[in-house]
Amino acid sequence: MAKIHNLGFPRIGKHRELKRALEAYWNTDIEQQEFTKQITQVREQHYSAFDLLDYAQVGDFSLYDHVLDASFLFGNVPDRAKVDNTVENDVDAYFRIARGRAKQNDCCATHAGEMTKWFDTNYHYIVPEFSSSTTFMLNCESLISEIRTVRSRGFEVKPVVIGPLTYLYLGKAIDNSNKLELLEPLLKEYKLLLQTLAKQGVEWVQIDEPALVTELSDEWQFAYKYAFEYLNDSGVKLLLTTYFGDLAKNLKLACALPVAGVHIDAIRAPHEVEILAAKLNANQVLSVGIVDGRNIWRTDLNRALALLKPIAEIKGNNLWLAPACSLLHCPVDVTIEQNILAEIRPWLAFAEQKLEELEILKKALTNTPSNSVFEALQNNQNIIAARKASTLATNFSVQQALSQIQQSWLTRSDPYKVRINAQQALLNLPRFPTTTIGSFPQTAEIRKTRREFINGDITDVTYENALKAQIANCIQQQESLGLDVLVHGESERNDMVEYFAAFLNGALTTQFGWVQSYGSRCVKPPVIYGDISRASSMTIQWTQYAQSLTQKPVKGMLTGPVTILNWSFVRDDQARSLTTKQIALAVRDEVIELESIGTKIIQIDEAALREGLPLKKSEWQTYLNWAVDSFKLCSSSVASTTQIHTHMCYSQFNDILPDIQRMDADVITIETSRSNMKLLDAFTQFNYNNDIGPGVYDIHSQNIPTTEAIKALILTASEKVPAQQLWINPDCGLKTREWKEVIPALRNLVEAAKQLRVDHLSA
């Protein structure tokens, strides 16, 4: 009989209990003892999800990030986490690397580990730091202790660890050394770990190697062979776990590795399941990731069974079923949602429901499924059929609008050089214009007021007035600071994607559909279930109000179509490119309306455009073609005098500069402060024409940049990009910062620009 297991479960909690415990501890509202107690309760949610499984995954829960956990597990802890030079493997040392630490009483300021995207998801991990002198030392006490706890509840455990190659792949060699030179010492600790687990009586270990779905060089392919041969015979069975794509050119390699089983993502690589079943030997387990871990649609169980049945014939007991990837990327439980349209709700399955689907599949694969299984399958078929037949997904006016798109809508009527002169004549901005990226601190007060509004405790008018007061304060602060281009501050937005989805036909938002983005920070990705169109104006009221308070230009602030797509749960019944085009038309409507009320500058954030790149480079161009076209579709129908800005937080543009140029935004603001403007090199090499605002204030840090530090960054930038093209701004939005940090930082930013203007004039 097939077995079912899980690769990982959401750890934030149904009601974000982990977030609340973490933030209370960080704010010193609770002591470590109380924190530990609360964390134990959060873990209970993990344990309750084990009931259906044949193997309980252990090691996927994390206080902050599972990659940082691996760094601590293998003793790759940066010196700055240590106190008095000893590796104090306690929770505070861990949080020091996770979040950094502000200087307190002139002591112990620490910068956080760099954060970056976990493959093509919206989850961020803490980047492991390597250098040629990195050493490793296994410290698996907490893993062993968790194994004991889970076993004591009667579950068969399956520890989960990131594989050695993926761990190295995800890290950064700070001295540019070859990371693979660390493989040998790292493998020693992996082997020790596996041997320790074997001694504990562990049978299976899930070893996550998603790097196997990327395009690997010969050197990395060879390293895979070497590593798994080295780990062979450690006393446990290894389940080589791949996800987020097909193995493609690494398939032969994966099948040749000496492991007891292989997991494959059958959502993104259904075409490889049969091949793998044939290639693995009879004793090897094939774990088929049959339930989508990256989306929230109910699985079509009959379709899944059609794929699984022939595999079950071949693999028999050695067929395992699982979600395609960790369920970390899904919310926990759809049954607690109260506001989802009754027709749509049955179409959705969150993490808990996905595990139930696996159980049905397992039972359906037995020789004599019970009546309740047939009923469950029938019920599932009814839901799938109802979704297919529903008229909710189709909107003929959207389809008509799509058919009326003209190629000319994708191009501005004048080239950048002509436009920028016309814009400058209108805006009359100084050299090195200063601006921010859009959001100002989302204070507890704003969130509380929004909660009261959602709960019906305050009226529309009270809420609107509260937001207007926030906007007025934001404008007044920016005027006092002397910024040149102002923003309204985005206080009306719960999130830069969810907020817009609430105004789109064909999309829905959830009450509790939280997904961890990093640490304690979460997002509620909207669900795009049908054809998208703009239901009403989305930002006009707030932009208009903000502009009425100042003579300075206020940027209209929108989220772009590719970012809305990439940060939503997307319909699976049409191409992503088509859905994006529909969103682009909706955003275009807003752009046109913003211009019609006199907005002179409109920023369309495409924070997720770069990160949405497929994991395989060979697939990049197809994506970039439609992604850039969608941006152009929403942004090009304005007069030459209207200045279009875009913003991207992840700025490694080396390989995609021609596409960034093709977007033809008048101004692009990007994250660069932490790289000391190195990321601008690509712009220099490519001779990028349009204006650029390289970030000079690292908003992820609590540190306030000095005027001198900002000036130095701008001077470095001006060596790479002509000064007349440069804007001065932070790296990203200020929503996660506090006013007491933002004010002095922006004061220094404006001062730096002022001083440079003088220097520039006298040069």
Ligand X SMILES: CN1c2c(nc(N)[nH]c2=O)NC[C@@H]1CNc1ccc(C(=O)N[C@@H](CCC(=O)N[C@@H](CCC(=O)N[C@@H](CCC(=O)O)C(=O)O)C(=O)O)C(=O)O)cc1
Residues lying near Zn ion in the complex (CB under 5 A) are found at 607, 649, 732
Helix axes 540-548, 460-481, angle to 10 degrees: 50
Helix axes 91-99, 66-73, angle to 10 degrees: 130
Clarify whether 271 is annotated catalytic.
no
Burial-class residue 107 by CB neighbours within 10 Å (0-12, 13-18, 19+): exposed
Could you tell me which stretch among 84-92, 101-109, 542-550, 728-736 binds ligand HCS (CB under 6 A)?
728-736
Other Cβ atoms within 10 Å of 360 Cβ, number:
22
Q: Where are the beta strands (DSSP E) in 293-438?
A: 319-323
- Chain-centre distance of CA 110, in angstroms? 25
Q: Which amino acid is at 631?
A: F
- Determine if 166 is a binding residue for ligand HCS (CB under 6 A): no
Query: What is the Rg, in whole angstroms, of the alpha carbon atoms belonging to the chain?
Result: 26
The residue within the footprint of ligand HCS, chosen from 129, 352, 605, 659 (CB under 6 A), is 605
The residue within the footprint of ligand HCS, chosen from 99, 124, 363, 735 (CB under 6 A), is 735
What is the DSSP secondary structure assignment for residue 116, as one 8-state letter? Answer: E
Q: Decide whether 438 or 506 has the Cβ nearer to ligand HCS.
A: 438
Q: Decide whether 260 or 649 has the Cβ nearer to ligand HCS.
A: 649
Show the binding pattern over residues 560-599: x = contacts ligand HCS (CB under 6 A), - = does not: ----------------------------------------
Show the binding pattern over residues 317-336: x = contacts ligand HCS (CB under 6 A), - = does not: --------------------
The residue within the footprint of ligand HCS, chosen from 16, 263, 581, 647 (CB under 6 A), is 647
Q: Decide whether 21 or 663 has the Cβ nearer to ligand HCS.
A: 663
Q: Decide whether 377 or 601 has the Cβ nearer to ligand HCS.
A: 601
Helix (H) or strand (E) holding 404: none
Region 188-217 residues binding ligand HCS, contact defined as CB under 6 A: none
- Determine if 732 is a binding residue for ligand HCS (CB under 6 A): yes
Note every long-range contact of 635-638, with CB atoms under 8 Å and residues 24 or more positions apart, other chains counting: 635/588, 635/591, 635/602, 635/604, 635/663, 635/665, 636/409, 636/410, 636/411, 636/412, 636/664, 637/409, 637/588, 637/591, 637/592, 638/412, 638/591, 638/592, 638/595, 638/602
C-alpha–C-alpha distance, residues 333 and 514, integer Å? 10
Q: Decide whether 355 or 649 has the Cβ nearer to Zn ion.
A: 649
- Determine if 698 is a binding residue for ligand HCS (CB under 6 A): no
Q: Decide whether 12 or 383 has the Cβ nearer to ligand X.
A: 12
The answer to whether 490 is annotated as binding is: yes
Q: Decide whether 628 or 732 has the Cβ nearer to Zn ion.
A: 732
- Determine if 606 is a binding residue for ligand HCS (CB under 6 A): no
Contact call for residues 351 and 331 (beta carbons, < 8 A): yes
φ/ψ bin of 13: left (φ > 0), alpha (ψ from -120 to 50), beta (otherwise): left
Given 111, 124, 488, 700, which residue is catalytic? 700
Which residue is listed with tokens 């099948």?
255
Q: Decide whether 393 or 649 has the Cβ nearer to ligand HCS.
A: 649
CB of 749 to ligand HCS, least distance (A): 15
- Determine if 733 is a binding residue for ligand HCS (CB under 6 A): yes
Helix (H) or strand (E) holding 465: helix 460-481
Could you tell me which stretch among 436-444, 449-457, 527-535, 661-669 binds ligand HCS (CB under 6 A)?
436-444
By a kind-dependent CB cut-off of 5 to 8 A, residue 438 interacts, out of Zn ion, ligand X, ligand HCS, none, with ligand HCS
Contact call for residues 297 and 329 (beta carbons, < 8 A): no
CB of 605 to ligand X, least distance (A): 8
- Determine if 649 is a binding residue for ligand HCS (CB under 6 A): yes
By a kind-dependent CB cut-off of 5 to 8 A, residue 25 interacts, out of ligand HCS, ligand X, Zn ion, none, with none
- Determine if 496 is a binding residue for ligand HCS (CB under 6 A): yes
By a kind-dependent CB cut-off of 5 to 8 A, residue 439 interacts, out of Zn ion, ligand X, ligand HCS, none, with ligand HCS
CB of 114 to ligand X, least distance (A): 14
CB of 442 to ligand HCS, least distance (A): 9
Q: Decide whether 349 or 522 has the Cβ nearer to ligand X.
A: 522
By a kind-dependent CB cut-off of 5 to 8 A, residue 448 interacts, out of Zn ion, ligand X, ligand HCS, none, with ligand X
C-alpha–C-alpha distance, residues 692 and 707, integer Å? 20
Residues of this chain that interact with ligand X (CB under 6 A) are 122, 442, 444, 447-448, 450-451, 494-497, 517, 521-524, 567, 607, 649, 736
φ/ψ bin of 154: left (φ > 0), alpha (ψ from -120 to 50), beta (otherwise): left
Contact call for residues 289 and 266 (beta carbons, < 8 A): yes
By a kind-dependent CB cut-off of 5 to 8 A, residue 521 interacts, out of Zn ion, ligand X, ligand HCS, none, with ligand X
What are the residues whose beta carbons fall under 8 Å from the beta carbon of 277, sequence distance 6 or more?
286, 310, 311, 314, 315
Single out the residue of 248, 183, 196 nearest to residue 222, CA to CA.
183
Q: Decide whether 507 or 732 has the Cβ nearer to ligand HCS.
A: 732
Q: Which residue is nearest to ligand HCS (CB)?
A: 733
The answer to whether 474 is annotated as binding is: no
What is residue 324's three-state secondary structure?
coil
- Determine if 494 is a binding residue for ligand HCS (CB under 6 A): no
Q: Decide whether 147 or 732 has the Cβ nearer to Zn ion.
A: 732
Q: The sheet that has 643-648: what strands, in order across it?
A: 555-559, 601-605, 643-648, 667-670, 691-694
By a kind-dependent CB cut-off of 5 to 8 A, residue 494 interacts, out of ligand HCS, Zn ion, ligand X, none, with ligand X
Helix (H) or strand (E) holding 352: helix 351-364
What is residue 249's three-state secondary structure?
helix
By a kind-dependent CB cut-off of 5 to 8 A, residue 588 interacts, out of ligand X, Zn ion, ligand HCS, none, with none
The answer to whether 618 is annotated as binding is: no
- Chain-centre distance of CA 491, in angstroms? 22
Q: Which residue is nearest to ligand X (CB)?
A: 494
CA distances, 627 to each of 121, 576, 579, 605, 606 (Å): 17, 10, 11, 13, 10
C-alpha–C-alpha distance, residues 726 and 72, integer Å? 41
The residue within the footprint of ligand HCS, chosen from 59, 438, 526, 530 (CB under 6 A), is 438
Region 523-562 residues binding ligand HCS, contact defined as CB under 6 A: 557
C-alpha–C-alpha distance, residues 94 and 225, integer Å? 32
The answer to whether 542 is annotated as binding is: no
In this structure, the strands spanning 504-508 and 527-534 are antiparallel
Got the DSSP string for 175-205?
A: T---GGGGHHHHHHHHHHHHHHHHHTT--EE
By a kind-dependent CB cut-off of 5 to 8 A, residue 377 interacts, out of ligand HCS, Zn ion, ligand X, none, with none
Which residue is listed with tokens 């910068």?
111
Contact call for residues 673 and 696 (beta carbons, < 8 A): yes
CB of 557 to ligand HCS, least distance (A): 6
Contact call for residues 355 and 298 (beta carbons, < 8 A): no
Contact call for residues 621 and 573 (beta carbons, < 8 A): no
The two three-digit tokens of residue 658, written as one number: 């021609």
Could you tell me which stretch among 437-445, 546-554, 656-664, 710-718 binds ligand HCS (CB under 6 A)?
437-445
The answer to whether 522 is annotated as binding is: yes
Other Cβ atoms within 10 Å of 470 Cβ, number:
23
The answer to whether 117 is annotated as binding is: yes
The answer to whether 428 is annotated as binding is: no
What is residue 366's three-state secondary structure?
coil
The answer to whether 732 is annotated as binding is: yes
The answer to whether 229 is annotated as binding is: no
Per the annotation, binding residues for L-methionine are 437-439, 490, 605
Q: What residues act catalytically?
A: 700
Interface residues toward ligand HCS, by CB under 6 A: 437-439, 496, 557, 605, 607, 647, 649, 732-733, 735
Per the annotation, binding residues are 16-19, 117, 122, 437-439, 490, 521-522, 567, 605, 611, 647, 649, 671, 732
Per the annotation, binding residues for 5-methyltetrahydropteroyltri-L-glutamate are 16-19, 117, 122, 521-522, 567, 611
Per the annotation, binding residues for Zn(2+) are 647, 649, 671, 732
